Amino acid sequence: MGIAKGSPKDQRNSYILPCECGDAITVVASDAGEQSPCRCGRDIAVPPLSRLRTLNGEGAYESSALDRIRSMLAMGSLPAGHNCAISNQPTESCIEFEVICDPLDPPAGPSPFLVMASLLLTGGRMIIWRIPERKRSQEEWDALERIRIPLLVSPKYHKRIKRRAKDQDYLRELLAIVPVYARLVREYPGARVVPVV
């Protein structure tokens, strides 16, 4: 079973609205003032954008994902929803993740320029370029912002997450189910996600 997917709507500026059934729906800024359906069949009136922002822990103006998450944690609105991020089944169990907010992108392969230069300089033979990963000092690692965030996950999936603790793509995809966490991962493309299990 894969990771449960949310609404296909654009999640860059998405907000979570609770429904009377106990579930939550994801809406985007352009939905403000409209009706949006819940899985239970109820239509939920989407409030104006200013109200959407305050309901989701934002201030009057745009803030960083870290600020928004801290505000939502303080208000008790995280973890969001009532369903497991993997199975989409109801659960009360949650796992905490520590996100080390590294603003640097993870190391990439060689640039197209280096590949072309290599081909030209070696008569068409390819030289394998190894770009060394930038090493951080302990002081640099300690200075990075960190935040612990909860995610609803049924107990039967806790071991799976522990086994895949080094699979950063999987962990980022898992967190991205919650719109504000997706925004955090976009703002910090080099972020390290560590399950605290």
The residues spanned by each domain of the chain are 106-135
Q: What is the pLDDT of residue 118?
A: 63
Q: What is the pLDDT of residue 51?
A: 83
Q: How does pLDDT run across 130-184, given as a tens digit for each residue? A: 555 556 677 777 778 899 999 999 999 999 999 999 999 999 999 999 989 999 9
pTM of the model: 0.58
- Backbone φ and ψ for 61, nearest 5 degrees, come out as -120, 165
Q: 3-state DSSP helix/strand/coil percent for the chain, to nearest 5?
A: 30, 20, 50
Q: With the CA atoms of 30, 187, 61 and 85 taken in that order, what torsion angle do they form, in degrees rounded to the nearest 10?
A: 60
Report whether 4 contacts 83 (CB < 8 A). Answer: yes
What gap in Å lies between CA 83 and CA 18, rounded to an integer? 13
- CA–CA distance from 151 to each of 94, 118, 148, 158 (Å)? 5, 46, 10, 11
Q: What is the pLDDT of residue 105?
A: 53
- Report, as ranges of residue numbers, the positions in the chain whose pLDDT lies below 70: 1-13, 57-62, 103-136
